[in-house]
Amino acid sequence: MSDVFPKWTNRLPMLLLVGLVMAGTAVVAGVWYYFTPKYTRVGYQPIQPVAFSHALHVGQLGMDCRYCHSAVEESWYSNVPSASSCMNCHNQVLKDSPKLDLVRQSAATGEPIPWVQVHKVPDYVYFNHAVHVRRGISCVECHGPIHQMDEVYHAQPLSMAFCLDCHRDPASRIRPVDKVTDLEWTWNSDPAIAADLQRVNGEKFVHDWNVQSLQNCSACHR
Amino acid sequence: MRYFVLAFVLLVFVVVSIAGCRGGLSRRPPVELFADMDRQPKLRPQAVNRFFGNGLSSRLPVPGTIARGAPYQDLPLNTGREPGTTNFVTLLPVPLTSGLLARGQERYAIHCAMCHGAAGDGKGLLAKYQMVGMANFHDQRLVAMPDGEIFNTITHGKNLMGAYGATINPQDRWAIIAYLRALQRAHLATVDDVPEPARAGLNK
């Protein structure tokens, strides 16, 4: 009888157990690490039809976001500028550059430039730019260092947890309203002092402006 | 057992090297894991919508119609001209307050300063980038120009300057003009405008 099952099968239950634990851990770790917007969205950098660079226009030329994204303070939606805004300068600057062919064509015909949208919340989420921007929440909190990007990429997860982290504690992120589009702005060049000032002033702003960053479901799912 | 561990390590290695780390740059659009109602066939601004022939979801107004709230009346506030005529108004049709000036200063910095310069002398940053002809606001002609004509220039553009009517609302255009006047006034200032006690601090 002893030949039917060889000796090593005695260790089989043990081996199976160890194997399953390892595989289970790997699957859980994999799902935890990869099945989240921190992985699926962050870093998305589509190829845009025109090689427009925020690093050049904002970082180097010092343009304000609102010159182009002019509706961001008034509406829920932050518009991407029309080609005619580009032509305000590019009717003289790089007037014949092939890099701007599409812009010139669009300005002449009215056919929009097919920019690829990078940031997109699901359609069942209600988001609003104006409420945030007018209450001192800077673009950098949700879009990252746009002023250094040659090509825009998705820098923050924009998941529900991300939104709620701030809605639970806006005082740690809020800043003076006129500094919202100044992405490099800090309270102080020394991070420790800046953190203290943020705490003190943040709480003051939240109180003075009566900031109510709602956490009930119907605020964002309406 | 040894083979199992080897295969396991290899598998983990392959998965990690294909999938990469969080935050790595990628050209591929994000995967939507449970895409149940993520994308609904509703209208979103500036997105392609096949419901319309040319795919534009942000529709242009039908000819002969005016959007609600749009500044359409023939008032100095909206046109910069005396009602019923083509004459430009000489003075601001809005009350001049310190709030208006502050708003104007902010809007000037956003929309005008890179061309006309922070001081309005036509030497903005873009002068270094092949941009020419930016007007100097301290020009006698522009100092004497009626407010309404500057309003018209901002709204519709002029020669080499583009139109800003679509991105700056009328109230803000008047605010910018008020600030522009303040710049011109500051440029024309003399020592006599400085209060007596402060004059010592000036380096002439």
Query: What is chain A written as a DSSP string?
Result: -TTTS-GGGGGHHHHHHHHHHHHHHHHHHHHHHHSSHHHHTTTB-PPPSS---HIIIIIIT---HHHHSTTTTTSSS-PPPPHHHHHHHHTTTTTT-GGGHHHHHHHHH-PPP-PPP-----TTS---HHHHHTTT--HHHHH--GGG-SS----S---HHHHHHHHH-GGGT---GGGTT-TT--S-SSHHHHHHHHHHHHHHHHHHTT-----SHHHH--
Residue A41 makes CB contacts below 8 A (sequence gap 6+) with: A154, A157, A158, A159, B30
- Domain segments of chain B as ranges: 74-81+120-188
Assess A10–B contact: CB distance below 8 Å, yes or no.
no
CB contact (8 A) between residue A122 and residue B38: yes
> Of the ranges B39-43, B88-92, B119-123, B171-175, which is most confident?
B171-175
| pLDDT (tens digit per residue) in B52-84 | 877 888 888 888 898 888 888 888 888 888 888
- Is the Cα torsion angle A51, A52, A56, A59 positive or negative in sign? negative
Contact of A171 with A136, CB cutoff 8 Å: no
Provide the pLDDT confidence category of residue B25 given band limits of 50, 70 and 90.
Answer: confident
B160 to A91: CB separation less than 8 angstroms, yes or no: yes
Partners of A22 on chain B (C-beta within 8 Å) are: 8
Pick the residue of B132, B167, B169 with the most A CBs within 10 A to test the interface with A by mutation: B167
* pTM for the structure as a whole: 0.92
Q: Which chain B residues contact residue A43 at CB under 8 A?
A: 22-26
Portion of chain A with pLDDT greater than 90, in percent: 76
Which of B5, B13, B22, B172 has the highest number of chain A CBs within 10 A, making it the mutation to test binding with A?
A: B22
The predicted model gives B166-185 an average pLDDT of: 93
- Could B15 and A70 be called an inter-chain contact, meaning their C-beta atoms sit closer than 8 Å? no
Q: What is the mean pLDDT of residues B173-194?
A: 90
Q: Which 34-63 residues of chain A touch chain B by CB within 8 A?
A: 34-35, 37-47, 61-63
Searching chain A, which residue's CA lies closest to the CA of residue B26?
A44
- Residues B25-29, mean pLDDT to the nearest whole number: 87
Neighbours of A66 (CB within 10 A): 21
Question: Per the CB < 8 Å rule, is B167 touching A64?
Answer: no
Residues of chain B neighbouring A37 (CB-CB closer than 8 A) = 30
Q: Which CATH number fits domain B74-81+120-188: 1.10.760, 1.10.287, 1.10.3470, 3.30.700?
A: 1.10.760
pLDDT over 90 percentage in chain B:
35
What's the residue count for chain B?
A: 204
- Whether B130 sits inside 8 A of A117 (CB atoms) is no
| Chain A residues closer than 8 Å to B33 by CB | 35, 40
**Chain A contacts of B160, Cβ < 8 Å?**
91-92
Q: Please name the residues in contact with B18: beta carbons below 8 A apart, sequence gap of 6 or more.
A: none
Q: What is the mean pLDDT of chain A?
A: 91
What residues in B contact A33, CB-CB < 8 Å? 22
Residues in A closer than 8 angstroms to B28, CB to CB, are: 44
State whether residue A64 sits within 8 Å of chain B by CB.
yes
State residue B192's pLDDT score: 81
Per-residue pLDDT for A201 more than 80? yes
What is the per-residue pLDDT across B91-124, written as a single tens digit (0 to 9) for each? 899 999 999 999 999 999 999 999 999 999 888 8
Cα A89–Cα A94–Cα A100 angle in degrees, nearest 5? 90
Q: What is the pLDDT of residue B203?
A: 66
Q: pLDDT exceeding 70 applies to what percent of chain A?
A: 99
Q: What is the pLDDT of residues A122-176, one digit of tens each?
A: 999 999 999 999 999 999 999 999 999 999 999 999 999 999 999 999 999 999 9
Span A20-40, pLDDT tens digits: 999 999 999 999 999 888 998
The DSSP code for B149 is H
Task: Using alpha carbons, select from B17, B41, B39 the residue that is nearest to residue B30.
Answer: B39
Question: Number of Cβ pairs closer than 8 Å across A and B?
Answer: 103
* Cβ distance of B110 and A64 shorter than 8 Å: yes
Q: What is the pLDDT of residue A2?
A: 60
Question: Is there a contact between A44 and B26 if contact means CB atoms under 8 Å apart?
Answer: yes
Q: Do B39 and A123 touch (CB under 8 A)?
A: yes
- A202 in Cβ contact with A208 (< 8 Å): no
Cβ-based contacts of A77 with chain B (< 8 Å): 45-46
What pLDDT sits at residue B178? 95
pLDDT category, B40, cuts 50, 70, 90? confident
10 Å Cβ neighbour count for B96? 15
For residues B57 and B44, the answer to whether their CB atoms sit within 8 Å is: yes
A80 touches chain B (CB under 8 A): yes
| The pLDDT of residue B204 | 56
ipTM, 2 dp: 0.85
Q: What is the pLDDT of residue A176?
A: 93
Q: Note the pLDDT of residue B22.
A: 86
A82 Cβ under 8 Å from any chain B Cβ? yes
> Do B109 and A64 count as a contact with CB atoms less than 8 A apart?
yes
pLDDT at site A209: 92
Distance set, CA B99 to CA A64, A73, B5, B8, B106 (Å): 21, 18, 72, 68, 11
